[in-house]
Chain A
């Protein structure tokens, strides 16, 4: 089960944030790696979408659809800057 990258959730994140997030810059709260969301490691085939840091593997973001509503947890990000 290969991981994808943040491009694969471009539509999902634009739906949630109201703007393109593939070029948004995220900072990992665990290791400090900084980079575009497009370059994160994404696991799509799960009860939710799990976005992990490419350097340290920790969870940056989880998007789950609960009763038809998208819920986003961003606790793994120290910062997220949309362009």
Chain B
């Protein structure tokens, strides 16, 4: 059921935590078992719902970190004043359960069977999560689509999936690069500072190649990058955006 687009009514399903992986000091990947999971497309997200024993409920949305066909996983960043993210990244244990519904969203999806053109992936912070699902799916399907990922993070320890992303640079069709905005390690020769029009002009596929861009991260990041790409001649319809808000996760911390 890889790549199935699920239409029709969403229902809440019970998910069980099967594994927890610490990606960085504040970021954790949660592998989930969902008995009737119908599959998803690369870039989609799901809604989760937590219910406390006093009946108090909280809902949040998280991008799916796994590729279609892989065991379902989400990656969550702990936000300091958050209500849900500290629970998911610190308290949650293997075997715990919560409700989720999905997959959600046919807009922010890369479908190699339908989409053409080289891929430009632009990640701000935890915005890398759905883009990593796209990269994993590209590899899983043996796609020859050329892809460039530019990932903006505060510092090198904040780069999620670092080993995996570095590994993609061995693939001749993939270029992964980082820009570190607050702190760079000694001897760093990579990019530094926030993504700006000049950096994008340097890395973006020329508009003449009909590239398809996916931009994901905090709202201010997405707006600056999307505007700059349109300024480089990308038709707006070829720039897909997903805003996580200043807090870093769609729908809040």
Contacts and interface: CB of A to CB of B under 8 A. Distances in A.
| A contacts B: CB pair < 8 Å | yes
Interface of A: 2-8, 10-11, 14-15, 18-20, 22-23, 36-39, 44-45, 83
A43 to B, nearest CB: 10
The 9 closest A-B pairs by CB, nearest first: A38-B107, A22-B107, A11-B47, A2-B219, A10-B104, A10-B105, A2-B246, A2-B245, A20-B106
A30 B234 CA distance: 27
Bin the interface of chain B by size: 20 to 34
Contact of B219 (A3, A15, A18, A37): A3
Interface in B32-87: 45-47, 61
A8 B243 contact: yes
B187 interface: no
B104 A20 contact: yes
Contact of B10 (A4, A11, A39): A11
Interface in B102-118: 102, 104-108
Contacts of B9: 14-15, 18
A14 B252 contact: no
Secondary structure at chain A's binding surface: helix, strand, loop or mixed?
mixed
Contact of B45 (A10, A19, A23, A37): A10
Interface string B1-41: 00001011110000000000000000000000000000000
B106 A7 contact: no
Contacts of A10: 45, 61, 104-105, 107
Given A10-B104, A20-B7, A23-B106, A44 B252 contact: yes
A11 B101 contact: yes
Contacts of B106: 20, 22-23, 83
Nearest to B6: A20
Contacts of A11: 10, 46-47, 61, 101-102, 104
Nearest to A44: B251
Contacts of A83: 106
A15 B104 CA distance: 10
B61 to A, nearest CB: 6
B105 A22 contact: yes
Contact of B61 (A3, A8, A37): A8
B125 interface: no
Nearest to A13: B104
Given A11-B47, A19-B7, A20-B7, A4 B105 contact: no
Contacts of B211: none
Contacts of B105: 7, 10, 20, 22, 38
